[in-house]
Amino acid sequence: METNFLVLALAALVPLFMGFLWYGPLLFKNAWMKQMGFTEESMKGANMGLIFILSYVFSFLLAFLLQTIVIHQFGVQSTLMESGATELQGEAATYFSDFMAKYGSNYRTFKHGALHGAITGIFLILPVLATQAMFERKTAKYVLINTGYWVITIALMGGIICQWA
C-alpha cells in the first residue's frame, strides 16, 4: 500500500486553517486568550513564520500516523510482512493483491475517516490535554476549547485521508 504524500500534505493544512478559525475572532479568540493569560500586546513579537512552518511539519507527522488509524487496510499489509522485509513477497503478495482488489475500497469514505479521527481525538487527545491541564492548573474551559479544536481538526484530517489517500 503506497502512501499518498500529496493527500497527507493537504490534510496537514487542516490544523492551520482550523486554528485560524477556532482561535481567531470568529470563534474562541477572546476565551482562549483569557484562559492562557494572553493579551493583544503579549501576542506580538513571535516569529510567526517559524511557528507556521513547524506547525505544518508537526501536522504532517500527525497526518502520516493518522492514515494508519483511518485506513483499515494498512493493518492487513503489515500483518502479512515478513520480519525485516520491505515489501510483500510470494504468497503474501498474491493474497494481499487479491484482498485489495476485493476489499481495498471498503470503509474508504470521508465519513468513516472523520469518525475514526473524532474517536482518536476523544480517546487520545482529550486524555493527554486534560492530564496536562490538571497539572498546569488550567480550567475545564481551557480543556474544552483545546480538545474541541483537536477533535474537529483530526476528524477533518481523517476524513480527507480516508477518502483520498
What average pLDDT does range 12-34 have in this prediction? 97
Digit-coded pLDDT (tens) for 72-116: 887 888 788 887 777 888 888 888 889 889 988 899 999 999 999
Read off the pLDDT of residues 118-136 as tens digits, 9 standing for 90 and up.
999 999 999 999 999 999 9
How much is the pLDDT for 78?
Answer: 78
d(CA 74, CA 47): 38
Neighbours of 8 (CB within 10 A): 22
DSSP 29: H
pLDDT at 84: 74
Extents of the domains making up the chain = 5-72+107-164, 74-106
